[in-house]
Amino acid sequence: MTLKDCLILTLLNVVGFYGLKYYNDSRQCRIVETLLPSVVKVSPIGHRWSEQLIMTPEGLGIEKVYKGFGVMGHGSGVFVNKDGMILTCNHVVAEGPIAQIETNDGKKALAYVVGRDVEQDLALLRPIKPLGRVVPVSMAKGVKRGLNVLTIGFPGPFDKYVTAGVVSGFQDERTFSDLAIAPGNSGGGVFTINGDIVGLAEAITGPFPIPTYQGFSILTSLEAIQGILEKYRGF
């Protein structure tokens, strides 16, 4: 092989590498844009309380103050069928059976809980009024260690944030990953790079600080999701 042939081959490899990288990056961005309409904000509604310090004859104490009936924080969820059924984590709606749903295009509606799997931290909601055309997620066929995944949700004050990582392993009917998630992400879909759902963002490992476990997050299992959807099919 001549020097010219070597230079041409090297150039083709470089062009191919960066071309493939650009294609994969662009494809992932397109997948995220496709998934955004499938992800919703879930805001539980119920009786709100706060705690305040008060002076008692014994010293400082804590008094609960009723703040009225309304929105209590928020989490995330995903559409799972064309009827607008929404899957989220049970702890997002644990305080009551009603939640406010906000779609990617800003539509809002109330939804009620039709089924729960408390042990697997899953809840299924149905909107009280139709939300128009919805885009349901598709289910992955399986989950393997090392699988590239991404999640979309509403961590804290942020709106529709995306983080990416890999499936790290499995333990006690839970899937672990290195996805960065925060309060508000709970119930958000975790997807393959093809856009298929493999679980829901559930929790950060803890309690903190435990350096060995920092950086790992817990996902609900794909099998549990399939189970609750089958159990409440037609509700």
Q: Which sign does the torsion angle of CA 6, 9, 15, 21 carry?
A: negative
Among candidate residues 91, 117, 178, 196, the one labeled active-site is: 91
Q: Tokens 């189970």 appear where?
A: 227
Amino acid identity of residue 54, one-letter, is I
Among candidate residues 168, 177, 186, 221, the one labeled active-site is: 186
Note if 186 is an active site residue. Answer: yes
Instruction: Decide the pairing of beta strands 196-204 and 217-219.
Output: antiparallel
Three-class SS state of 55: strand
CB 136 within 8 A of CB 189: no
How many Cβ atoms from other residues are within 10 Å of residue 160's Cβ? Answer: 16
Q: Which sign does the torsion angle of CA 15, 193, 177, 187 carry?
A: positive
Residue 181 corresponds to which tokens in the numbers above?
């998630």
Among candidate residues 38, 43, 76, 121, the one labeled active-site is: 121
Note if 91 is an active site residue. Answer: yes
- List the catalytic residues: 91, 121, 186
